[in-house]
């Protein structure tokens, strides 16, 4: 015998859409960082390895990131070659407002 059941929309769909949009934004930002030379960048990875591959002024460092001002063109590519798994432009004046 047929019954009427309540159909609920997929609850995971909004979460997947938000995750997809966020992932797309990070991807586009990372590609843009390769194309232009931002004033300050945040490189995620081992700070010890990144410090030796990045030439420029160190702004800040943490357990898994390094914030620096690149001194020469191509610094983002050198950071990736040195082991960074993601390099993004630092917002505004850098992390924690350091200048």
How is 11-78 classified by DSSP, letter by letter? SHHHHHHHHHHHHHHHHHHHHHHHHS--SSEEEES-HHHHHHH--EEEEEE-SSEEEEEE-STTHHHH
Whether residue 7 lies inside any domain: the answer is no
Whether residue 5 lies inside any domain: the answer is no
Rounded Cα distance between 57 and 69, Å, is: 5
Whether residue 83 lies inside any domain: the answer is yes
Whether residue 1 lies inside any domain: the answer is no
* pTM of the entire predicted model: 0.72
Local confidence band at 94 (pLDDT 50, 70, 90 cut-offs): very low
Mean pLDDT of the chain: 80
Local confidence band at 95 (pLDDT 50, 70, 90 cut-offs): very low
Q: What is the pLDDT of residues 3-46, one digit of tens each?
A: 665 555 566 678 888 999 999 998 898 888 888 888 899 999 88
- DSSP β-bridge partners for residue 65: 44
Q: What is the DSSP string of 62-85?
A: -SSEEEEEE-STTHHHHHHHTT-S
Whether residue 41 lies inside any domain: the answer is yes
Number of domains in the chain: 1
């Amino acid at each position: 015998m047929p019954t009427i059941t309540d159909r609920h929309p997929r609850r995971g769909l909004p979460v997947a859409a938000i995750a997809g949009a966020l992932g797309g934004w990070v991807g586009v930002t990372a590609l843009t960082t390769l194309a232009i030379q931002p004033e300050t960048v945040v490189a995620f990875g081992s700070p010890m390895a990144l410090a030796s591959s990045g030439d420029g002024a160190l702004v800040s460092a943490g357990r898994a990131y390094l914030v620096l001002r690149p001194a020469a063109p191509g610094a983002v590519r050198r950071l990736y070659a040195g082991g960074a798994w993601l390099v993004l432009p630092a917002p505004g004046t850098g992390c924690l407002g350091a200048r």
